[in-house]
C-alpha cells in the first residue's frame, strides 16, 4: 500500500484492483481521457431468454409493458489511479446500455438510486479536501441529470459506497479515513432532520479496523436493514474469511463488529463473495459469487463464472439459482471486475455486469458485458456497452451501478 499524502492535495492509498472484492471498486491516481467520452455502444437484440426454455429456442420479446424497467441506470466508471476513487458519472438506457445524449460531465465517489430510479443520491469529494458531500439529483424524462441539492453536513473522509431506501429518506454510506493509521466507518443519515448514526472500526483501503469492507452497500426499501460483503479478521488483523453481513439501521452507534450479523461465512479460498443486494422488504437478498478457473496473468486468460443466488436473510440459505454468467478470455486487467449488481426498487429486475473485455490497446474502449434478469422467471436480457478509452497509465477497471 502506498501512504496517504496529507498535503493540500489529498490522495487515497493505492490498491490493486485484484483486491476490490473486499475493498470497494476504486484504485489509485490519474484521470480519464475526455476525448474518449464519445463512445460507440454495442448491445444485443432485445430478447429475454428463459432458463426454462434453454435449448428449446423459445424466447420472449422484451416489450415496454412487460419489462416495466426504470428508463435509465447510472454508473460511475472506475479508473486505475483516480484521485480519491472518483470517476465520471454516466447515464444509460436500461434496455440497451446506450448513453443518453446529454451526459452530466461530473465525477463522483459513489451513487445510489431511489424513487423508482427517477432520483439519485450522489457522493462527491469536497474540493481537494479529505471530505465528501452527499447530494440529491433528479433524472428527467430524457435522462438529463438535474440540479444538485445538498444532503446533511460535510462527511469526514471519502465516501466509498452509498445506499438509500425507496424514498431517499434514510441514506447509508461507508467512508474511508484520511490517515492509514485511522479506521473508516459506516453511517446512516436521516435526511429529514440530519440525524446521523455511525459505526466505527471499518478497514477501508488497508486502513485500521476489524471489519474489512467498504464495498457496495445495499439497503432495503424500508430503510430498516443494510447488507454488504467483506472479510472478517482475527488476532493481529489477520483475515480469517469472507462474509455477508447485515445490520439493522436502528442499531446503537458503536463498533461495527459488535452490531453486525454474519449470514454467510466462507473461507478465503473458493469463489469470491462479490456483491449483495437486498430485496425491497429485506427478507431475502441476491448474492453474486465469482469463481476463477485458471491462473490470471498478463499472458494466460482464464474463465470466470458469476453465479447469482437468491437467499434468505434470516440464515443465508439459498432458495434458488437465478443465473450463471460465464466470462471467457479474462485477462489480467479485467480479473477484479467482479459482479457489481443492482436491483430495481420494486425488486423485479437485477442488473449484473460481469465482464470487462479489453481491446488491443488501452486507447480502445473496453466492453462491459451485462445481463438484465427478471427475478420471478429468471429470464434474461443480454447487453454490452463500452466504457471510455484510457490515456497514459489510466485504465478503466470497473463500474458502480445505480438503478
0.75 surpassed by pTM: yes
Task: Give yes or no for a contact between 262 and 244, defined as CB atoms under 8 angstroms apart.
Answer: yes
Cα–Cα distance between 59 and 61 in angstroms, integer?
7
Task: Give yes or no for a contact between 185 and 208, defined as CB atoms under 8 angstroms apart.
Answer: no
Mean pLDDT of the chain: 84
Neighbours of 338 (CB within 10 A): 29
What integer pLDDT is reported at residue 394 of this predicted model?
A: 81
Task: Give yes or no for a contact between 75 and 400, defined as CB atoms under 8 angstroms apart.
Answer: yes
Per-residue model confidence as pLDDT tens digits over 77-126 = 998 877 678 999 999 999 999 999 999 999 999 999 999 999 999 999 99
Domain 17-402 is classified in which CATH homologous superfamily? TolB, C-terminal domain (2.120.10.30)
- Comparing CA positions, the residue from 143, 74, 73, 138 lying closest to residue 102 is 143
Residues 6+ apart with CB under 8 A from 7: none
What average pLDDT score do residues 220-241 get?
93
42-51, 219-228, 283-292, range with the lowest pLDDT: 42-51
Q: How confident is the model at residue 297 (pLDDT cuts 50, 70, 90)?
A: confident
Q: In the predicted model, is pLDDT for residue 10 greater than 80?
A: no
Task: Give yes or no for a contact between 211 and 188, defined as CB atoms under 8 angstroms apart.
Answer: no
Per-residue model confidence as pLDDT tens digits over 53-70 = 333 334 343 444 445 788
What average pLDDT score do residues 262-279 get?
96
Amino acid at each position: 500500500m502506498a501512504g496517504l499524502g496529507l498535503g493540500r492535495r489529498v490522495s487515497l492509498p493505492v490498491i490493486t484492483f485484484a483486491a476490490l472484492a473486499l475493498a470497494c471498486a476504486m484504485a489509485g491516481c490519474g484521470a480519464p481521457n475526455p476525448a474518449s467520452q464519445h463512445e460507440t455502444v454495442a448491445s444485443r437484440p432485445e430478447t429475454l431468454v428463459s432458463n426454462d426454455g434453454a435449448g428449446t429456442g423459445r424466447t420472449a420479446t422484451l416489450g415496454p409493458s412487460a419489462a416495466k424497467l426504470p428508463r435509465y441506470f447510472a454508473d460511475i466508471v472506475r479508473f486505475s489511479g483516480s484521485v480519491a476513487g472518483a470517476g465520471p458519472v454516466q447515464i444509460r438506457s436500461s434496455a440497451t446500455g446506450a448513453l443518453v445524449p446529454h451526459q452530466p460531465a461530473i465525477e463522483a465517489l459513489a451513487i445510489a438510486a431511489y424513487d423508482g430510479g427517477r432520483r439519485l443520491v450522489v457522493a462527491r469529494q469536497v474540493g481537494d479536501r479529505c471530505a465528501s458531500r452527499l447530494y440529491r439529483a433528479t433524472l428527467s424524462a430524457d435522462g438529463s441529470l438535474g440540479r444538485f441539492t445538498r444532503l446533511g453536513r460535510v462527511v469526514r473522509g471519502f465516501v466509498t459506497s452509498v445506499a438509500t431506501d425507496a424514498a431517499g429518506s434514510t441514506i447509508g454510506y461507508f467512508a474511508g479515513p484520511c490517515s492509514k493509521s485511522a479506521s473508516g466507518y459506516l453511517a446512516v443519515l436521516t435526511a429529514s432532520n440530519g440525524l446521523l448514526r455511525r459505526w466505527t472500526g471499518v478497514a477501508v483501503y488497508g486502513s485500521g479496523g476489524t471489519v474489512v469492507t467498504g464495498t457496495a452497500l445495499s439497503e432495503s426499501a424500508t430503510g430498516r436493514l443494510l447488507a454488504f460483503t467483506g472479510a472478517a479478521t482475527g488476532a493481529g488483523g489477520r483475515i480469517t474469511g469472507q462474509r455477508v453481513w447485515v445490520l439493522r439501521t436502528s442499531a446503537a452507534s458503536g463498533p461495527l463488529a459488535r452490531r453486525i450479523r454474519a449470514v454467510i461465512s466462507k473461507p478465503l479460498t473458493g469463489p469470491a463473495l462479490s456483491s449483495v443486494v437486498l430485496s425491497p422488504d429485506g427478507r431475502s437478498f441476491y448474492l453474486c459469487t465469482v469463481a476463477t478457473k485458471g491462473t490470471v496473468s498478463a499472458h494466460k486468460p482464464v474463465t470466470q463464472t458469476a453465479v447469482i443466488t437468491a437467499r434468505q436473510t434470516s440464515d443465508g440459505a439459498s432458495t434458488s439459482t437465478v443465473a450463471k454468467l460465464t466470462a471467457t478470455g479474462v485477462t489480467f486487467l479485467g480479473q477484479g471486475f467482479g459482479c457489481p449488481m443492482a436491483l430495481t426498487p420494486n425488486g423485479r429486475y437485477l442488473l449484473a455486469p460481469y465482464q470487462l473485455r479489453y481491446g488491443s490497446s488501452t486507447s480502445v474502449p473496453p466492453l462491459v458485458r451485462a445481463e438484465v434478469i427478471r427475478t420471478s422467471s429468471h429470464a434474461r436480457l443480454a447487453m454490452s456497452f463500452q466504457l471510455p478509452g484510457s490515456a497514459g497509465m489510466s485504465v478503466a477497471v470497473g463500474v458502480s451501478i445505480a438503478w
